[in-house]
Structure 1
Amino acid sequence: MAANSTNNKALSASTVTSRKIFVPWFCIFVGQKILTFTTMSTTQSPIVYAPGIGPDRAALLAEEFGIRTMAQFMEHYPFRYVDKSQFHTIRTLNAHSGDVQIKGQITKIEELGAPRQRRLVATFTDGEGFIELVWFKGAKWVRKSLKLNTPMVVYGKVNDFNGKKSLPHPELYAPTDAEESAVEPVYSTTEKLTKRGLNSKGIAKVMKAVLKAELAQVEEPFSEAFRTKNQLVSKVQALTWIHFPPSAKHLEAAKNRIKFEEFFFLQLTQQRNKLRQKTAIKGYTFEEVGAVFLSFYNHHLPFELTNAQKRVVKEIRGDVRTGAQMNRL
């Protein structure tokens, strides 16, 4: 963040939008003006009212992450992202390909193995080769969702067993969904939340609904002129792109805005505390230098002070006359 963006002297009523009643909030005095800022300028609606949450999930979110409001939920940012902007072809896959994404269709579905070791196998082709999609659990449920000869996208980690490639338990979605989620968020979750359906994908689903319902309530603490000067996207854009970025470029813009705002208000808080120490907290005032100090300084100090030391002594003398607090080593 540029140094001039956090300089107290650069602040004015025209650069930062003034707010009235938000919680939490604080004021900073600049000359004779009072500027009010918000550290959380968005809705404080309880998370229990979010689509797909309800009392039980809301209680778990509060217990596991301390999330009780929509605002806190929107600040539950992804800890990493999966790039799904690239597509692979089956003929180029090998044991070291890792996670891959392929466009194609299923041509055959069958269940193989002994009764206690049954597995569901679907043959998938992209027109250039074939690969098996394998499910060892939930075969009955998965089979109902599979459609033959229908365009789809599969995503999973390549497994190579005896030279035969497969994708165990892959993700399946329509090509249109793949285009919308080129960069997919991955959220922190817990075992308790996962059992209640709030794994990373479950959280992402709720997040989309919350953003759609609550973004209109988000307040922008910075004016357009201030954002333009510091090359910042809006608060609404940052919240949208940090969760569902259309591209890596949009993600970086969102991160930059969120980091800037966090450090801006952190430094603004420090400036407030500094001003409060100088104006509101008064100590004992020493109007005159005592005779004992003068005698020691003039006659008993066993060495000559450097110019820098003399300057500091003079500064300290000036501070003790004002009664203001000092922060010195």
Structure 2
Amino acid sequence: MKLVDLPNLSTKRIMALSESGINSILDLLNFFPRRYIDRTTVSPIRSLKGTGEQTTVVGRIQKIQQQGRGRKKRLEVIIRDNSATLKGVWFKGGYYIKRQFSKGQLVAFFGKAKKYGRYITMAHPEVDTLSDKSEVEDLQQIVPIYPGNKALSRTHTNSKLIHKWQKMILKHEKPPEFLPPPLLNEYNLPRRHRAYRMIHLPQSESEYKKAFARFKFEELFLFELSVAKTKQEVIERQAGHRFKNLGNHTRHFFNEELPFALTGGQKSALSDIKKDVRSGTQMNRLIQGDVGSGKTVVAIGAILMAIDNGYQAAFMAPTEILAEQHFRTLSKFLQPLGINIRLLVGNQTNSLRTDILTAIEGGNCNIVVGTHAVIQEEVRFHRLGLAVIDEQHRFGVKQRAEILTKGSHPHVLVMSATPIPRSLAMTLYSDLDISVIKGLPGGRKPVKTAVRPQKKHKEIYHFVEQELRDGGQAYVVYPLVEESEKMDLKDATAGYEKLKKQFPDFEVGLLHGQMKSEDKEAVMQQFVDNQLQVLVSTTVIEVGVDVPNASIMIVEHAERFGLSQLHQLRGRIGRGERQSYCILIHGPKVSREGRFRLRKMAQTDDGFEIAEADLKLRGPGDFLGTKQSGLPEFRVADIVEDQWILEQAKSAAWDIMKEDPQLDRPAHEELKKVFIPYYKERSKFYGMG
């Protein structure tokens, strides 16, 4: 059967369906209802309370009348059953709707029943005309309501017509099953053809819910199967360099140079890394830790293991400002060891760039720190053994895959200071082993967070002045306004001028994204050296600036920021031994969601709890940026709401990949037909295809 075989399918409707992503019978079957109307019960009119309950009533038309004038003109149709009367009201289109009614006609109204005056009323009810009461049973069904758009609306392709098409398709077509029978039995899933029938022609609420669960499982199962296959190919194709020695650099650094004791979380992560790099298989590990948990020191440990075994290391950051920060940090820590570290970013002179590339290829450079410039074709390593990728979610899966082509499959260590909720990590990072660093390094105190209205500026500035006189330093951050750096800069510049007058006894600096790299670095260095006591900034300092003496973070218009962004900003303080304070200032009008975000920030400093809340507010696509992250746009599954299905799908997929990696068993024949094209599409994104 083809789309053109369906009745009432004009050329315009074919085009409207195509605009809606429907180009085949299977596409139409996969066009699922967005909600359902339960019309399985017909209520006597007298039984209705008129509180907005949705129901069906059946009666004969007693009166048809138009009331009011001009724009307020409305059509009223009064019907009566054996118990009472009900009024149907249409505020628009009454002239045309009136034509379908006649006095004494038997009709069914479906809608929300509300009481106005002495009448129970339904506004714009759905209407069915009946020849006799025996037809009432045909109305008593669960009615699917399909997603609409301008193209479908323009061609009058409504839910009623789509439902009619689905009935016809399911009468003639039987989509093949591809989930193996043991899975269907184990997880009590309906077979594919029956599941389509249960979604488009449900007999009960439990039927369509069960069918949706099956299609959610199917989506998540295919995705998890592709992730398991990717990991398997990485392991099979790419034997890792074996770092046998825990050499002099590593021992000297941790025993004599590191100025603080490692936390339990840091020790555990280093132990995981040591085990990986000695295994002979390529490491693919994610180090996940909250802001300030000490991930960089763990990365340094991995880098020193590589150098001790005669290999180079690459350290990749998403922005120049963060790459420069890491370069400074690594240089400070490793300078006593005589290790050659070079910075490779986009704005360097040709002569400097040539010198750096020569050092990398010749082996004189032990560590190269940079942005995505590190993985460009012209960068050739002498002997790359380890790649560290910071803030992984800003790069995307494909860029992570590209680093694998450098230096004969180096070990890969991914770091994220943005806590990823467990539900996302299970999907997004299923091909990685995960180490979580919990807790803060010794001596650090939790940041105290307060939410204040703009009218409290005077008291806030008084508190800030006391902190500054006590030797502290402060950030004042202005938000991005409508994603416009120009407007952002205007806000921050005005704030800078205001704060210079507010704190005449102290030095105030300005930092923003339009400054040249060397100017940004100069301002940051002045702040680090305490030559500036107040740093007014745009969101450019969300990552990159590490000033242990900074003890105050003021965020203006905090209601405009997302939860994760506010948490990242708060992470800029509390990095030393001083008690630190984050003050979130909001405007007079704050949405309900904005109030929730600010309240959550004041309640907890647990990044994982904040990330879970942020994920629920924004959904996975917005939380990470779907295209960047490699997370697919699931059609029916929601990895936040459907975690239990996700866990089942992951377990099933990884078991099958372990038992039958090529899907050659007879029981997997249909699955293989579906999975191979699915995986090829995914592989292009992962850089494996």
TM-score, normalised to structure 2, is: 0.36
SS of the counterpart of 1:155?
Answer: strand
* 1:191-210 mapped onto 2 (5 Å cutoff): 191-210=150-169
**CA distance 1:302–1:154, shift in 2 (3 Å):** same
Per mean C-alpha deviation after superposition, the further-off stretch among 167-176 and 115-124 is 115-124
Q: 134, 139, 147: which is aligned to 1:178? A: 139
Aligned to 2:255: 302
**CA distance 1:167–1:298, shift in 2 (3 Å):** closer
| Deviation at residue 120 of structure 1 after TM alignment | 5.2
Q: 33, 44, 55: which is aligned to 1:89? A: 44
| Deviation at residue 112 of structure 1 after TM alignment | 4.3
The structure showing larger relative contact order (alpha-carbon pairs under 8 Å, at least 6 residues apart) is 1
Between the aligned partners of 1:140 and 1:315, the Cα distance in structure 2 is 74
1:159, 1:166 within 8 Å by CA — same for their partners in 2?
A: yes
Q: Is 1:67 aligned to 2:22, yes or no?
A: yes
Between the aligned partners of 1:160 and 1:294, the Cα distance in structure 2 is 83
1:84, 1:101 within 8 Å by CA — same for their partners in 2?
A: yes
| Deviation at residue 253 of structure 1 after TM alignment | 1.2
Per mean C-alpha deviation after superposition, the further-off stretch among 240-249 and 307-316 is 307-316
Considering only aligned residues, what root-mean-square deviation do their CA atoms show, in Å? Answer: 3.4
1:156, 1:167 within 8 Å by CA — same for their partners in 2?
A: yes
Between the aligned partners of 2:88 and 2:268, the Cα distance in structure 1 is 78
* 1:1-329 mapped onto 2 (5 Å cutoff): 45=2, 47-63=3-19, 65-103=20-58, 105-113=59-67, 121-135=76-90, 137-139=93-95, 142-144=98-100, 146=102, 148=104, 150=106, 152-173=107-128, 174-179=135-140, 181=141, 183-213=142-172, 215-216=173-174, 218-280=175-237, 282=238, 286=241, 289=244, 294-297=247-250, 301-302=254-255, 309-310=270-271, 312-319=273-280, 326-329=411-414
Between the aligned partners of 2:182 and 2:73, the Cα distance in structure 1 is 64
Between the aligned partners of 1:286 and 1:131, the Cα distance in structure 2 is 80
Q: Deviations over 1:107-146 (max 9, x none)?
A: 5344445897876544322211112334453545654455
Equivalent position amino acid for 2:137 in 1: T
2:241, 2:281 within 8 Å by CA — same for their partners in 1?
A: yes
Per mean C-alpha deviation after superposition, the further-off stretch among 225-234 and 152-161 is 152-161
SS of the counterpart of 2:51?
Answer: coil
Per mean C-alpha deviation after superposition, the further-off stretch among 67-76 and 305-314 is 305-314
TM-score, normalised to structure 1, is: 0.69
| Deviation at residue 68 of structure 1 after TM alignment | 1.6
**CA distance 1:264–1:88, shift in 2 (3 Å):** same
| Deviation at residue 222 of structure 1 after TM alignment | 2.1
| Deviation at residue 76 of structure 1 after TM alignment | 1.5
Aligned residues: 274
Q: Deviations over 1:56-83 (max 9, x none)?
A: 11212222x2222221221111111112
Equivalent position amino acid for 1:66 in 2: G
1:154, 1:172 within 8 Å by CA — same for their partners in 2?
A: yes
- Percentage identity across paired residues of the two chains: 22
Between the aligned partners of 1:288 and 1:172, the Cα distance in structure 2 is 75
Equivalent position amino acid for 2:87 in 1: E
**CA distance 1:58–1:321, shift in 2 (3 Å):** closer
Q: Deviations over 1:247-293 (max 9, x none)?
A: 0111121011111111111100101111122224x47x646757xx6
**CA distance 1:54–1:273, shift in 2 (3 Å):** farther
| Deviation at residue 53 of structure 1 after TM alignment | 2.5
**CA distance 1:277–1:159, shift in 2 (3 Å):** same
| Structure 1: gaps spanning 5 or more residues | 1-42
**CA distance 1:238–1:88, shift in 2 (3 Å):** same
1:278, 1:324 within 8 Å by CA — same for their partners in 2?
A: no
| Structure 2: gaps spanning 5 or more residues | 129-134, 284-407, 415-689
